[in-house]
Amino acid sequence: MFFFKKKPSRLRRLIILNPTTGQGDGVAYFEKIKASLREKLTEFDLYLTRGPRDATLRTREALHARSHDQIIAAGGDGTINEVLNGYFDGKRLISR
């Protein structure tokens, strides 16, 4: 179970979700917690990954476009790894 403190803010959030996480039930699990996320995080955009390295590419796009203030990885170790790799271009950290 996840617990979040509600913070009034206008942060632009991007959730990068791997729909095949676990046993392929990532979207079903997300649907169960979506209402709580909307209540606690207010607004967010959702992006479903389509394959390997997609989370990395989407993270880089969001950073370069400065389209979101927070990027949240939703999935397993691989998804988290890809999102973190998206913050780097080679050895250089992509700054906002």
Q: In terms of residue numbers, what domain contains 27?
A: 13-91
- Split into its structural domains, the chain has a count of 1
Report the relative pairing of strands 88-89 and 92-93 from DSSP bridges.
antiparallel
Q: Give the whole-angstrom CA distance, residue 14 versus residue 21.
A: 18
Residue 57 inside a domain? The answer is: yes
pLDDT band at 87 (very low <50, low <70, confident <90, very high): very high
For 51, how many CA atoms within 13 A lie in the half-sphere containing its CB? 0
Mean pLDDT lowest for which of 9-13, 62-66, 76-80, 85-89? Answer: 9-13
Rounded to whole angstroms, the Cα distance separating 25 from 43 reads: 23
Q: Which pTM was predicted?
A: 0.81
For residue 6, being part of any structural domain is answered with no
Burial 48-59 (b: 16+ CB within 10 A, else e): bbeeeebbbebb
